[in-house]
Structure 1
């Protein structure tokens, strides 16, 4: 699984106001499913 994170940035260097950081690749060995009212999280 490729992991990227979004951060809010305070300066106006980026027009969107966000910064995306690549956190790396991870191998998923097991997962649990959580059911919310209108979506599922794994």
Structure 2
């Protein structure tokens, strides 16, 4: 049970981080043009 709770919190944290990164790359792409969109995969 303990392991599952840790895994759940880690996965939720990771998804939140991924969402923030997606928003940041989207903002960059909106500012500078479509070129930074290629950087979102790295």
Same fold flag (TM > 0.5): no
**Structure number with higher strand proportion:** 1
TM, length-normalised to structure 1: 0.22
**Structure number with higher helix proportion:** 2
Structure of greater relative contact order (alpha carbons < 8 Å, 6+ residues apart): 1
